[in-house]
Structure 1
Amino acid sequence: MSTQNDLNSVIVDLSSNTTEVKKTSEIGLPTKFNLSVLRGQVVFTSAYILINKHGKRLFQIDNHFNRLERSYKVMFESQSLPFSRDDFQKYGDILIENNKETQSCPYYQVLILLLAGKSEIVGDGQESYRNGFGGNLAQVLLIANPMDIKADWTFDKGINIFSFPYQREIADAKPTLYLGGIQGDHILSAINTYYLCKALEKNHVSIKDLYSMYSNWPVQQQHSFRLIMHDLKNNRLKIESSLQTLYPHQEESLYTLVKSMLKRPTFLDEYKHFESKEVQCLLHEVVFTSPEYPHYILEGATFGIMGIDKQNQVRFIPLENKSSDTNKGKVLESTTIRLLKEIVTGCGYDYLETSVTYEEALNFNFLFALSATRIFSNEGIKCPPIQSIDGKVLPKSSKKSIEMTSKIFEKMKLFFENYTY
């Protein structure tokens, strides 16, 4: 398998219209581009290079170009990108040409970032003024990395997701700020840590019960719980006597559990061992729901969702609410979901774009987590199913829905084998 040191990346300077090839391991975000580094004015798309009988191709090149253009219009308030679709293909061709050594690897990931430059200066000389914003797109980065193939069990058994009420701030664009994912993962990680500590004491408790317990706590207790669990996991707890002072609002049983862990001379080694042993039982991903009740399923922190409901109907989450429903959420348009819609139609199935409530999702035959890095398994083209939401296991899939998913993935495999431009 290729390593990061084996791969090359491409830097496009838009002011001089020149390209530079560098080792991926040497790529960094230039601090001179303060609009991207300090203000977050940067958008990206996650693509991959596919190798099939037609050679190497930047897969779904048109969808990725269109996504970048939509994001650019939102984040830079300009009608069209300062490079064309043909230019974009040329950047991809340069990347492919400079990564010939990956011939043994059928695909690798390409992160494509649009970086803003310096903020705008109004006026000249001593009379000028800069407010720290404004400016233009300065650079395009195409960063090649080895594809992170998910473990086989994620495709066979499925993943466990944790729901977090959150509306992506700019759902029309794809900036690099994933604040909702960060916040949701803090909760997910704390619950997993507590679960593993209980398992170490041979006092198992279900994820479902832990989620319910956490959800019913006051905000201050939730925050203190997250802090103590993170510090325990990261070996930052040293003084037992100060636990109640540093981490207030907790039940005595939690302090007792933490003290018990601290007394274990090999706690971190034991923790890591149990983490590997129990990994399939833990929470794995965060999915956003609409903040207001009733809660609607929106999207994962890093993935979109396709489902097959109780009536064996393929369902996708609409990009935004319609006047006919109460869902106030809005989601990022996924290039992978655009592809799956084509595949589903090609299989002869109709699909619906309708809102899905949290309660309804719990009764689906299938829910799948879809993204550019989640459709490749060691055994071929698949998508990881969602096994549970907040510890609540989805029902057994119907025979019809299993047949439908098999046909969809087989059609998808053929699409990959024949893709070209």
Structure 2
Amino acid sequence: MKMTSISGKTAVSLKRTIGSGTEEQRKTVSTIIEEVKKNGNAAVSAFTKRFDGADVADLRVTEQEMKEAYGMMKQSEIDILKSAICNIKEYHKRQLASSWFYHRKDGTMLGQKITPLDSAGVYVPGGTAAYPSSVLMNVIPALAAGVERIVLVSPPGKDGKLSPGVLAAAAELGIKEMYKMGGAQAIAALAYGTETIAPVDKITGPGNIYVALAKREVFGQVDIDMIAGPSEIAVLADQTADPREIAADLLSQAEHDTMASSVLVTDSRPLAEAVQKEVDQQLERLPRKEIARQSIENYGRIYVAETLDEAVSAVNELAPEHLEILTVQPEALLGKIRHAGAIFLGPYSSEPVGDYFAGPNHVLPTNGTARFSSPLNVTDFQKRSSIISYSREAFSENAEKIAAFARLEGLEAHARAIESRIREED
């Protein structure tokens, strides 16, 4: 890992040129979306065979496939899923927003009505890997919000089937509508619908660059959660932290993707040097060491600050997806952290605890967008309507002001709409 000394306003960054894709990739995605809009299921099936190598006659997951998936799962695995579901549900139900109203003395009633989305589509990466955790993290907040129709899509393996873990996780949450399709074609089908798949109102879930570009293109037709980039972790540590544990946590992100970013920010050079050595040693023992090695070489960094306050400032500049605070008193620094997707306090809050089990959502802002965005949550699946019930007294008092405001903007019809009621009052 590259080591850099920082002080004052030394620039630090996790940002990578991602999310916009190449011109060729954008054209490919546009072509796929137009084909799905035009030819529906036939286009989805054709692209599934072309890109996933799977010949899928019926895109919808059947009850028989669900039963087979359960039969392939160990009871211990099902029990782990159930425990994780319990934790994630408990956390997300606390985010549920309620409608509210208040009355003024003049009889006016104002408020905000909270309504769940009618439908949501959840994209779960698949093919050569299985991500039941993505099922839980995307579906549970939608359920907590009260979304009635939740559609799950995931690319099939070459056998034309979805991962047993993904199907079991969906079944445990009561999801009935699932389709064997991935990539830009799945996003297009969710956004515009096909002969058999009704369109949804919002699409969430991570995917490759083609999924990201497709989500970007259909935004406006439907809502989306975010344009997610490669995974990131930053560790803020002092001399009390364990180099072995820090190295393990950095590598836990590096094994995700060759573009994943793993960063240590510390005010201790001896710790920095020890972590650097540990990363090199642990890297050699990883099954996915070639992926992790490229990630560490290209996007791994160690920043050594002169003071802990400078280290905190660097972390806020990074605005990482995941931030671990491994200092003598991590809670004391929490108030100083302004920008991070998820914050893990202390040595027992390793990032994978949040990925799978603790309860908070692991769908998080990346590439510095934690400066202005938040983790996926229940409110992402709710919409708000403003409620206005003006009283006769309030209208009589303010009508002339409202009409004058309309004319200030040159909107005569607006003013006359108000004045028509003034005459009625007279």
TM-score per shorter chain, which class?
under 0.3
Larger Rg: 2
Greater relative contact order (Cα 8 A, min sep 6): structure 1 or 2? 2
Structure with the larger helix share = 2
With normalisation by structure 2, the TM-score equals 0.22
With normalisation by structure 1, the TM-score equals 0.22
